[in-house]
Amino acid sequence: MQVSFVIPLYNCLPLTQAMVASLQATMPAGLEHEIILVDDGSTDGTREWLATLRPPFRVVLNERNLGYAVANNRGAALARGEILALLNNDLVLTPVWLEPMLAAHRSLGARAGLIGNVQRDVLSGKIDHAGIFINLKGKPQHQRAFPDEFSHFFTTVYPVDALTGACALIERALWQQLGGFDEGYVNGCEDVDLCFRARAAGRINAIALRSWVYHHISASLNRKRRDEENTYRLTRRWHAELARCAARRWCRYYYESSPFEPRDHGYGFEMQIWLYALGLRRTPPAKALAAMSAAIGFELARWEKMFGNPGDSS
């Protein structure tokens, strides 16, 4: 068994049926696979439809709505494939979407973390996801364009801080090593947290730029209801990592928006900013880390007023 497709479901039966049809239509010839559908308490006829399916489908029925992380974890626990393909049920898969992702995973070898792809909004056709970066508030944000105008012609594998779990590959052994999704998150930030744990384990998360799919953005009802709590949890756990991830963006912003005044900081400081902004220096300048840590601290203080301080971030 090579690939286990894990697909959590919650209502939206027409989207699920269309997604499964597109998966079957785009399956590479001869690929050993299984399709694990995890229903998370649907009430719209999804369970009746699932009862009609036969292999390669496998069905898991949660006793009630337990959330995205739990549904994926339960599906992955049954998987037999070497590679897990995590898919949302509101995707529309395109021809030859999977092969570039598998190729990207192979190219990274033992360094491979999570592999994602380019996702376009079904309604507009515009890019909604080409990876996730950390913005100047220290928060995860979708990159909604190719890294540069011509990158997808010359580069097939583009390293990123994180990526969405809506369409992602991960080696099953790595998933087990990392412990899967943290079930403390409720329908948000589980994927970013997992990507950061992969990075901490020395892995590289990347986008396969020649793979693309369509996505019905946040089709599930109340999908973003817990965004603030989820981001608070993520930030408490990964404060320092978020600052490091955003430091280069801060340097670029500083370099583009601030006049060159060596009298203020000296040529050495300006050179550090310039080199790091261009990717020619490996270590982020202390001022960039301090600035990002302060921005993140501001957000943490705001969240603490909203939700209190839970103490342990685990």
Give me the pLDDT at residue 263, please.
Answer: 45
The amino acid present at 143, given as its one-letter code, is Q
- The CATH number of 3-215 is 3.90.550.10
Select from 125, 131, 168, 135 the least CA-distant residue to 148.
131
d(CA 270, CA 266): 7
Grouped pLDDT means (10 residues each) for the chain, 314 residues: 93 97 97 98 97 97 96 98 98 98 97 98 96 97 82 79 98 98 97 98 97 85 80 98 96 76 58 85 92 97 91 54
Query: DSSP letter string over the chain?
Result: --EEEEEEE-S-HHHHHHHHHHHHHTPPTT--EEEEEEE-S--SSHHHHHTT--TTEEEEE-SS---HHHHHHHHHHH--SSEEEEE-TTEE--TT-HHHHHHHHHHHGGGEEEEEEEEEETTT--EEES-EEE-TTS-EEE--S-SSTTHHHH-SEEE-SB--TTEEEEEHHHHHHHTSS-TTS-SSSHHHHHHHHHHHTT-EEEEEEEEEEEE-TT-STTTTTTHHHHHHHHHHHHHHHHHHHHHHHHHHHHHHHS---HHHH-HHHHHHHHHHHTT--SSPPHHHHHHHHHHHHHHHHHHHHHH---S---
Domain residue ranges of the chain, discontinuous segments joined by +? 3-215, 228-307
CA 294 remoteness from chain centre: 25
pTM of the model: 0.92
pLDDT at res. 254: 87
Neighbours of 81 (CB within 10 A): 19
CA gap 116, 167 in Å, rounded: 6
The confidence score (pLDDT) of residue 262 equals 47
